[in-house]
């Protein structure tokens, strides 16, 4: 009986073996699609950032390219590439020599380094071993330092006015450069910051304190004569309106925040300084308990409003003269115009500042015009805040240095145009009135892709 069971097992084993040898009649499927799918560079300890390159097929359908360039000075002479295709029976790289390709080619193994500084073509055969596609490979590396600021002087003397007060603003993409010498008011206009023309201005008194001029809801505003506020919608024709409260006088306008103008006022009754707000620049609200602190500036300060990273409106005011006439290095911040925080109590990194200028640029704040400043080769004319005004640092002294020929100054105007160019216009260097124009721009702001 055991013998019969053994014979049965033996014959079954032979049948299974023969069946496996015979196989099936199902044909093996091969693809004729040799299309590019992806290219990646392996991380290389000696050449950082290579693995950050993201390659796609360009619009011509023939070029593999990284649209976002690799960082400045990234080496691409010893790269480990990995290609993926829809199907592949083998791929080779061809290297250009003049207008011809070398006869030698390199099979793609992923283990050999490739020099991508030269023009390279890749040919991939589909898995049918007949169909193939050719692609050129272009590896973009930034040719200029994206973090470098390029500064230049546009003109030495825009005018010959010995200005007592001056201010430049941009309204509706047009530059308005106001000056007065105590006897006359002057205006210069420009559409690009490079070419300027003299223009007529009316309604401004020749001793108007132009430093308090601000832009709000498509108009320009400034205070004059204590009980009047001046405004214009076209930049040339100014009108005045009297203060709505007979018991207070204007000292300065701070800025526009959350659809309201904020101003510094002083009571004629108790001589106390208080904040005032207005929705239209005509009717003002003054709350008696909204008293200005002793170390809060009432004139010659730098101010700005901007949106925080969380989307909230925020106002900042730096330096200036206090109610007692002392010059300040305080750094005040508010989100509603009523409650203020003195950042300088937490982080006292701002030098004393009179007649400064604040701008928002490249998601940072830049303040120009330090009083306690001595020009040397390793210092800059301005400071930078990366935390929305809490702390202030000297910028990169290699990439961000304004030329040594730039006269140190205060009461300058600093504006940013629609093309991300910074303009520094006029000001005072000691007792000398300046009317020169300088411009600067971060290289990265000229890139099509940021």
**The dihedral formed by the CA atoms of 104, 110, 111 and 114, expressed in degrees to the nearest 10:** 50
**What are the tens digits of pLDDT across the range 102-119?**
555 778 877 888 999 988
User: Would you say the C-alpha torsion 431, 433, 436, 442 has a positive or negative sign?
Assistant: positive
Provide the pLDDT for residue 57: 95
What is the secondary structure of 48-77 as a DSSP string? TTGGG---EE-TTSSEEE-SSPBPTT---S
Whether 1 has a pLDDT exceeding 60, the answer reads no
**What are the tens digits of pLDDT across the range 352-376?**
788 999 999 999 999 998 654 444 4
Q: What percent of the chain has pLDDT over 70?
A: 88
Provide the pLDDT for residue 30: 86
When pLDDT is averaged across residues 207-211 and rounded to a whole number, the result is 88
CA distances from 262 to 204, 219, 243, 277 (A): 21, 15, 14, 5
CA distances from 126 to 104, 129, 229, 296 (A): 21, 6, 77, 74
Of the candidate ranges 94-98, 160-164, 189-193, 372-376, the one whose mean pLDDT is the lowest = 372-376
Contact 269, 257 (CB under 8 A): no
Q: Binning pLDDT at 50, 70 and 90, where does residue 436 land?
A: very high
Q: Please report the beta strands in 282-402, taking only residues with DSSP state E, as ranges in sequence order.
A: 284-291, 302-307, 313-318, 331-334, 340-342, 353-361, 364-370, 382-385
Whether 228 has a pLDDT exceeding 90, the answer reads no
Question: What does pLDDT average to over the chain?
Answer: 86
Domains and CATH numbers, the chain: 36-138 (2.60.40.2340), 149-446 (2.120.10.80)
Q: Which residues contact 106 (CB under 8 A, 6 or more apart)?
A: 92, 93, 95, 112, 114
Provide the pLDDT for residue 369: 84
User: Would you say the C-alpha torsion 109, 110, 115, 116 has a positive or negative sign?
Assistant: positive
Provide the pLDDT for residue 6: 44
Cα separation, 314 vs 40, in Å, equals: 43
Which of left, alpha, beta for 37 (phi over 0: left; psi -120 to 50: alpha)? alpha
Q: Which residues pair with 285 in a beta bridge?
A: 277
Cα separation, 329 vs 301, in Å, equals: 10
When pLDDT is averaged across residues 144-164 and rounded to a whole number, the result is 92
What tokens were used for 393?
A: 């640092």
What tokens were used for 317?
A: 């005011």
How much is the pTM? 0.80
**What are the tens digits of pLDDT across the range 125-143?**
999 999 999 999 999 999 8
When pLDDT is averaged across residues 214-218 and rounded to a whole number, the result is 92
What tokens were used for 447?
A: 């890139």
Whether 351 has a pLDDT exceeding 60, the answer reads yes
């Amino acid at each position: 009986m055991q013998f019969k069971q053994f014979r049965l097992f033996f014959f079954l084993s032979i049948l299974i073996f023969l069946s496996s040898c015979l196989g099936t009649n199902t044909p093996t499927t091969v693809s004729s699609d040799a299309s590019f799918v992806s290219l990646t560079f392996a991380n290389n300890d000696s050449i950082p950032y290579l693995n950050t390159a993201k390659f796609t097929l360009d619009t011509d359908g023939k070029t593999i390219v990284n649209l976002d360039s690799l960082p400045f000075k990234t080496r691409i002479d010893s790269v480990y590439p990995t290609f993926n295709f829809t199907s592949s029976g083998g791929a080779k790289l061809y290297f250009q020599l003049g207008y011809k390709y070398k006869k030698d080619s390199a099979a793609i193994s992923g283990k050999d380094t490739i020099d991508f500084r030269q023009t390279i073509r890749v040919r991939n055969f589909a898995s049918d071993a007949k169909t193939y596609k050719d692609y050129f490979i272009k590896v973009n590396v930034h040719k200029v330092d994206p973090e470098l600021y390029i500064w230049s002087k546009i003109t030495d003397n825009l005018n010959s006015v010995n200005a007592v007060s001056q201010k430049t603003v941009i309204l509706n993409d047009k530059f308005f450069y106001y000056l007065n010498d105590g006897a006359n008011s002057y205006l210069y206009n420009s559409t690009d910051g490079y070419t300027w023309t003299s223009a007529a201005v009316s309604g401004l008194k020749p001793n108007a304190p132009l430093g308090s001029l601000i832009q709000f809801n498509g108009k320009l505003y400034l205070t004059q004569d204590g009980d009047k506020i001046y405004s214009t919608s076209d930049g040339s024709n100014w009108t005045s309106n009297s203060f709505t409260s007979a018991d207070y006088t204007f000292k300065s306008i701070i800025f526009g925040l959350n659809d309201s103008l904020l101003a510094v006022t002083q009571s004629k009754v108790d001589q106390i300084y208080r904040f005032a707000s207005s929705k239209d620049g005509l009717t003002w609200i003054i709350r008696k308990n909204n008293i200005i602190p002793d170390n809060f500036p009432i004139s010659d300060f730098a101010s700005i409003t901007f949106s925080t990273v969380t989307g909230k409106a925020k106002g900042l005011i730096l330096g200036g003269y206090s109610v007692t006439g002392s010059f300040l290095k305080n750094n005040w911040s508010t989100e509603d115009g009523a409650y203020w925080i003195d950042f300088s109590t937490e982080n006292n990194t701002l030098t004393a500042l009179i007649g400064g200028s604040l701008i928002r640029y490249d998601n940072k704040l830049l303040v120009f015009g330090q009083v306690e400043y001595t020009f040397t080769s390793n210092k800059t004319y301005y400071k930078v805040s990366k935390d929305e005004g809490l702390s202030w640092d000297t910028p990169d002294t290699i990439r961000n240095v304004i030329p040594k020929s730039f006269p140190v100054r205060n009461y300058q105007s600093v504006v940013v145009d629609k093309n991300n160019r910074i303009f520094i216009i006029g000001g005072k260097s000691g007792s000398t009135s300046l009317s020169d124009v300088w411009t600067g721009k971060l290289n990265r702001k000229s890139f099509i892709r940021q």
